[in-house]
Amino acid sequence: MATFIEEKKKQRRLVYILIALTTITAFVLWYGFIRRPLSQPLEIAVFPALLGVAQIDFSVLENPILQQLRPFEEVTPFDGVLGRENPFIPY
């Protein structure tokens, strides 16, 4: 008889924990995702005329260290047979 009462107390405790976790999850979802923000973010308009012209300094590319770099060799396409027509069927 004592084990039945202990088991019932354990189940009641688990129900309380489940209710608490559900409440916390609902609270986090409400305040994190569903609730609308209190203030709308300001939209800042950027006009291209106010930005000016971008100046790129190409003299960096004339660095001697960069001159020592070699381009990659061109990769030729594979000429052999590429494999089975349908690789997903069993042998």
Residue 57 has pLDDT above 70, yes or no: yes
Residue 40: its H or E element: none
Phi-psi region of 83 (alpha: psi -120 to 50; beta: other; left: phi over 0): left
One-letter amino acid of 53: V
Tokens for 77, please give them: 């396409």
Digit-coded pLDDT (tens) for 3-53: 878 888 899 999 999 999 999 999 998 888 777 666 666 667 667 777 778
- Cα R_g (the chain), whole angstroms: 34
Domain ranges of the chain: 1-36
Give dist(CA 27, CA 33) in Å, integer: 10
